[in-house]
Amino acid sequence: MNWGRLATSLMLAATVGACSSVAPNLPRGASAYSVIPAASGTDTTRNYEIGPLDVLQVTVFQEPDLSFDELQVDAAGNLLFPLIGDVRATGKTARDLSLEIAQRLGERYLVNPQVSVLIRSSVSQRVTVEGNVTEPGVYDIRGTSTLLEALARAKSPTRVAKLDEVVVFRVIDGTRMGAVFDVKAIREGEADDPVLLGGDTVVVGFDSVKGAFRDFLTTAPFFAVFSRF
Protein backbone atom coordinates (compact mmCIF):
# COMPACT_ATOMS: atom_id res chain seq x y z
CA MET A 1 0.00 0.00 0.00
CA ASN A 2 1.23 3.49 -0.84
CA TRP A 3 1.02 5.19 2.56
CA GLY A 4 1.97 8.55 1.11
CA ARG A 5 -0.98 8.58 -1.25
CA LEU A 6 -3.29 7.34 1.49
CA ALA A 7 -2.11 10.09 3.81
CA THR A 8 -2.71 12.70 1.15
CA SER A 9 -6.20 11.33 0.39
CA LEU A 10 -7.17 11.30 4.05
CA MET A 11 -5.98 14.83 4.62
CA LEU A 12 -7.86 16.08 1.55
CA ALA A 13 -11.04 14.32 2.64
CA ALA A 14 -10.67 15.71 6.11
CA THR A 15 -10.18 19.22 4.78
CA VAL A 16 -13.32 18.97 2.64
CA GLY A 17 -15.27 17.58 5.60
CA ALA A 18 -14.11 20.41 7.82
CA CYS A 19 -15.63 22.98 5.47
CA SER A 20 -19.16 21.79 6.19
CA SER A 21 -20.81 22.61 9.48
CA VAL A 22 -22.09 19.86 11.73
CA ALA A 23 -25.09 22.06 12.50
CA PRO A 24 -25.84 24.01 9.32
CA ASN A 25 -29.46 24.85 10.12
CA LEU A 26 -29.05 26.09 13.68
CA PRO A 27 -28.66 29.77 14.60
CA ARG A 28 -25.20 30.99 15.50
CA GLY A 29 -23.52 34.26 16.38
CA ALA A 30 -25.90 36.93 17.66
CA SER A 31 -28.92 34.85 16.61
CA ALA A 32 -27.89 32.00 18.93
CA TYR A 33 -28.46 34.17 21.99
CA SER A 34 -32.10 34.69 21.08
CA VAL A 35 -32.57 30.95 21.67
CA ILE A 36 -30.13 30.44 24.58
CA PRO A 37 -29.68 33.84 26.29
CA ALA A 38 -26.37 35.01 27.69
CA ALA A 39 -25.52 35.26 31.36
CA SER A 40 -24.12 38.77 31.24
CA GLY A 41 -26.44 41.49 32.48
CA THR A 42 -29.01 39.06 33.89
CA ASP A 43 -29.79 37.66 37.31
CA THR A 44 -29.90 33.99 36.39
CA THR A 45 -31.02 32.73 39.79
CA ARG A 46 -34.01 35.06 39.95
CA ASN A 47 -35.83 33.24 37.16
CA TYR A 48 -34.88 29.70 38.19
CA GLU A 49 -37.93 27.51 38.74
CA ILE A 50 -37.78 25.22 41.78
CA GLY A 51 -38.00 21.50 41.11
CA PRO A 52 -38.64 18.33 43.14
CA LEU A 53 -35.95 17.48 45.73
CA ASP A 54 -34.37 20.94 45.58
CA VAL A 55 -33.03 22.12 48.95
CA LEU A 56 -34.09 25.60 50.04
CA GLN A 57 -33.12 28.04 52.75
CA VAL A 58 -36.20 29.77 54.15
CA THR A 59 -35.87 32.74 56.51
CA VAL A 60 -38.76 34.50 58.22
CA PHE A 61 -37.27 37.67 59.66
CA GLN A 62 -37.42 37.98 63.46
CA GLU A 63 -38.95 34.49 63.61
CA PRO A 64 -36.11 32.02 64.33
CA ASP A 65 -38.56 29.16 64.94
CA LEU A 66 -39.81 29.57 61.38
CA SER A 67 -36.39 29.94 59.76
CA PHE A 68 -34.52 26.97 58.32
CA ASP A 69 -31.12 26.56 56.71
CA GLU A 70 -32.30 23.53 54.76
CA LEU A 71 -35.78 22.46 53.74
CA GLN A 72 -36.17 19.93 50.94
CA VAL A 73 -38.94 19.97 48.39
CA ASP A 74 -40.52 16.53 48.29
CA ALA A 75 -40.72 14.28 45.22
CA ALA A 76 -44.23 15.56 44.49
CA GLY A 77 -42.97 19.15 44.36
CA ASN A 78 -44.38 20.35 47.71
CA LEU A 79 -42.65 22.03 50.64
CA LEU A 80 -43.91 21.17 54.12
CA PHE A 81 -43.76 24.37 56.19
CA PRO A 82 -44.73 24.82 59.86
CA LEU A 83 -48.15 26.32 60.59
CA ILE A 84 -49.28 26.44 56.98
CA GLY A 85 -48.64 22.84 55.85
CA ASP A 86 -47.83 21.91 52.25
CA VAL A 87 -46.90 24.68 49.86
CA ARG A 88 -46.60 23.99 46.15
CA ALA A 89 -42.98 24.78 45.24
CA THR A 90 -42.37 23.18 41.86
CA GLY A 91 -42.54 25.66 38.99
CA LYS A 92 -42.19 28.70 41.25
CA THR A 93 -39.21 31.01 41.51
CA ALA A 94 -37.67 31.66 44.92
CA ARG A 95 -39.37 35.06 44.95
CA ASP A 96 -42.77 33.58 44.08
CA LEU A 97 -42.46 31.01 46.84
CA SER A 98 -41.37 33.57 49.42
CA LEU A 99 -44.40 35.73 48.59
CA GLU A 100 -46.76 32.76 48.90
CA ILE A 101 -45.34 31.68 52.26
CA ALA A 102 -45.54 35.27 53.52
CA GLN A 103 -49.15 35.58 52.35
CA ARG A 104 -50.25 32.36 54.03
CA LEU A 105 -48.43 33.17 57.27
CA GLY A 106 -49.98 36.66 57.25
CA GLU A 107 -53.51 35.33 56.82
CA ARG A 108 -53.64 33.79 60.30
CA TYR A 109 -50.37 33.88 62.23
CA LEU A 110 -48.09 36.89 61.65
CA VAL A 111 -48.46 40.57 60.90
CA ASN A 112 -46.71 41.60 57.68
CA PRO A 113 -44.18 38.74 57.66
CA GLN A 114 -40.97 39.17 55.65
CA VAL A 115 -39.85 35.90 54.03
CA SER A 116 -36.70 35.11 52.05
CA VAL A 117 -36.18 31.92 50.04
CA LEU A 118 -32.79 30.92 48.62
CA ILE A 119 -31.82 27.90 46.53
CA ARG A 120 -29.26 25.92 48.53
CA SER A 121 -28.87 23.08 46.03
CA SER A 122 -30.68 21.84 42.97
CA VAL A 123 -30.95 18.07 42.88
CA SER A 124 -33.54 17.93 40.16
CA GLN A 125 -31.72 19.94 37.51
CA ARG A 126 -29.18 18.24 35.25
CA VAL A 127 -27.26 19.11 32.11
CA THR A 128 -25.99 16.51 29.64
CA VAL A 129 -22.58 17.11 28.05
CA GLU A 130 -21.74 14.97 25.02
CA GLY A 131 -19.23 14.84 22.19
CA ASN A 132 -15.57 15.70 22.36
CA VAL A 133 -15.08 16.40 26.05
CA THR A 134 -12.82 14.52 28.40
CA GLU A 135 -15.63 13.13 30.56
CA PRO A 136 -19.04 13.11 28.81
CA GLY A 137 -21.91 12.62 31.20
CA VAL A 138 -24.91 14.03 33.04
CA TYR A 139 -24.07 16.71 35.59
CA ASP A 140 -26.11 18.27 38.37
CA ILE A 141 -26.28 22.05 38.38
CA ARG A 142 -27.22 24.51 41.11
CA GLY A 143 -30.19 26.33 39.74
CA THR A 144 -28.47 27.63 36.63
CA SER A 145 -25.06 27.25 35.09
CA THR A 146 -23.22 28.56 32.05
CA LEU A 147 -21.78 26.82 29.02
CA LEU A 148 -18.19 27.25 30.20
CA GLU A 149 -19.08 25.92 33.66
CA ALA A 150 -20.72 22.84 32.16
CA LEU A 151 -17.68 22.17 29.97
CA ALA A 152 -15.42 22.53 33.00
CA ARG A 153 -17.52 19.94 34.83
CA ALA A 154 -16.88 17.60 31.89
CA LYS A 155 -13.11 18.23 32.25
CA SER A 156 -13.02 20.53 29.20
CA PRO A 157 -13.13 19.79 25.46
CA THR A 158 -10.55 17.40 24.04
CA ARG A 159 -7.71 18.61 21.84
CA VAL A 160 -9.62 17.59 18.69
CA ALA A 161 -12.86 19.34 19.69
CA LYS A 162 -14.29 21.82 17.22
CA LEU A 163 -14.68 24.77 19.56
CA ASP A 164 -16.71 26.88 17.15
CA GLU A 165 -19.25 24.05 16.77
CA VAL A 166 -20.57 23.68 20.33
CA VAL A 167 -24.32 23.16 20.22
CA VAL A 168 -26.77 23.68 23.08
CA PHE A 169 -30.17 22.00 22.77
CA ARG A 170 -33.17 23.04 24.88
CA VAL A 171 -36.87 22.21 24.95
CA ILE A 172 -38.79 25.49 24.73
CA ASP A 173 -42.59 25.37 24.92
CA GLY A 174 -42.51 21.70 23.98
CA THR A 175 -40.22 22.20 20.97
CA ARG A 176 -36.60 21.07 20.91
CA MET A 177 -34.43 23.96 19.75
CA GLY A 178 -30.70 24.48 19.46
CA ALA A 179 -28.02 27.09 18.93
CA VAL A 180 -24.33 26.98 17.99
CA PHE A 181 -21.70 28.77 20.07
CA ASP A 182 -18.02 29.56 19.61
CA VAL A 183 -16.37 28.52 22.87
CA LYS A 184 -13.01 29.95 21.86
CA ALA A 185 -14.59 33.38 21.45
CA ILE A 186 -16.40 33.02 24.78
CA ARG A 187 -13.16 32.07 26.55
CA GLU A 188 -11.40 35.09 25.09
CA GLY A 189 -14.16 37.47 26.12
CA GLU A 190 -15.25 38.16 22.55
CA ALA A 191 -18.69 36.57 23.08
CA ASP A 192 -21.02 36.15 26.05
CA ASP A 193 -21.30 32.94 28.04
CA PRO A 194 -24.85 31.54 27.57
CA VAL A 195 -26.88 30.40 30.57
CA LEU A 196 -27.78 26.72 30.79
CA LEU A 197 -30.89 25.35 32.49
CA GLY A 198 -31.83 21.93 33.75
CA GLY A 199 -32.61 19.59 30.87
CA ASP A 200 -30.22 21.26 28.41
CA THR A 201 -27.87 19.13 26.30
CA VAL A 202 -24.43 20.35 25.21
CA VAL A 203 -22.77 18.67 22.21
CA VAL A 204 -19.14 19.52 21.46
CA GLY A 205 -18.26 19.15 17.79
CA PHE A 206 -15.41 17.15 16.30
CA ASP A 207 -12.65 18.73 14.23
CA SER A 208 -12.40 16.36 11.29
CA VAL A 209 -8.98 17.65 10.21
CA LYS A 210 -7.31 17.07 13.56
CA GLY A 211 -9.21 13.86 14.18
CA ALA A 212 -8.51 12.21 10.85
CA PHE A 213 -4.84 13.16 10.89
CA ARG A 214 -4.42 11.97 14.47
CA ASP A 215 -6.16 8.65 13.76
CA PHE A 216 -4.08 8.12 10.65
CA LEU A 217 -0.78 8.65 12.47
CA THR A 218 -1.96 6.30 15.21
CA THR A 219 -2.77 3.40 12.86
CA ALA A 220 -0.22 3.81 10.04
CA PRO A 221 3.44 2.76 10.34
CA PHE A 222 5.18 6.06 11.04
CA PHE A 223 8.32 5.33 9.02
CA ALA A 224 6.33 4.16 6.00
CA VAL A 225 4.28 7.33 5.84
CA PHE A 226 7.26 9.56 5.38
CA SER A 227 9.52 7.21 3.46
CA ARG A 228 7.21 6.87 0.47
CA PHE A 229 6.10 10.41 -0.29
User: Which CATH number fits the domain 58-121, given the four candidates 3.30.1950.10, 3.20.20.20, 3.90.1570.10, 3.30.390.30?
Assistant: 3.30.1950.10
Lowest mean pLDDT among 44-53, 81-90, 98-107, 181-190: 44-53
Q: Sorting pLDDT into bands at 50, 70 and 90, what band is 186? A: very high
Q: CA quadruple 39, 43, 46, 52: dihedral positive or negative?
A: positive
pLDDT at position 182 is 95
Which superfamily does 3-44+124-219 belong to? Outer membrane lipoprotein wza domain like (3.10.560.10)
In the chain, the N- to C-terminal Cα span, in Å, equals 12
How many angstroms separate the CA atoms of 28 and 32, rounded? Answer: 4
Q: CA quadruple 121, 71, 104, 61: dihedral positive or negative?
A: negative
Q: Sorting pLDDT into bands at 50, 70 and 90, what band is 225? A: very low
Mean pLDDT of the chain: 80
Which H or E element spans position 27? none
* 113-122 residue pLDDT tens: 999 999 888 7
Q: Is the pLDDT reported for residue 5 higher than 70?
A: no
How many angstroms separate the CA atoms of 80 and 72, rounded? Answer: 8
pTM above 0.85, yes or no: no
* 34-86 residue pLDDT tens: 999 986 544 555 567 888 888 999 999 999 999 999 999 999 999 999 999 99
Domain ranges of the chain: 3-44+124-219, 58-121
